[in-house]
Amino acid sequence: MAHELDGTYQVTTTTSYQGPLEKKSDGQTDIINGQTKRRDDANCLWISTFTVLNENEVEMISVADASKADSDFMLTAPNGAPTRENVTYSAILKYARKGDRVQLSGQINYGSDITFLTMRKVI
């Protein structure tokens, strides 16, 4: 049975991070059965789960694995230090649906950084 969020999404982010590491997490991802698995432009692996909480909210838990990412790419730890360790991000996203159009949006608070995330269903 298909999950109500299944489809292809355009992922865009804006972050308060002002450090030296370039963020490359934007792109497209496919949600299948409420889960995604994709590599971003830095070859960082993102595995995410999406749970519909109600008609207005979705819980997202994402694990970023930079262990096989490009040699010049690192994630940041909660203290802002560069790391190649797995990093887990979680957020409650606003869930908006009109027919086949779906948008998930919200903010991820991690350490001292805030990332605004928007995911729009394109297919």
Q: What is the CATH number of the domain that holds 102?
A: 2.40.128
**What's the rounded Cα separation, in Å, for the pair 110 and 120?**
22
In a domain, 70, yes or no: yes
Question: Partners of 48 in the beta sheet?
Answer: 36, 62
User: Is pLDDT larger for residue 118 or for residue 80?
Assistant: 118
pLDDT in tens, 33-91: 999 999 988 999 999 999 999 999 999 999 999 999 999 888 989 988 889 999 999 99
Does the pLDDT value for residue 24 go beyond 80?
Answer: no
In a domain, 91, yes or no: yes
Q: How many domains does the chain have?
A: 1
In a domain, 75, yes or no: yes
What confidence score (pLDDT) does residue 1 get? 52
**What's the rounded Cα separation, in Å, for the pair 92 and 103?**
13
pTM over 0.75: yes
What confidence score (pLDDT) does residue 25 get? 78
In a domain, 66, yes or no: yes
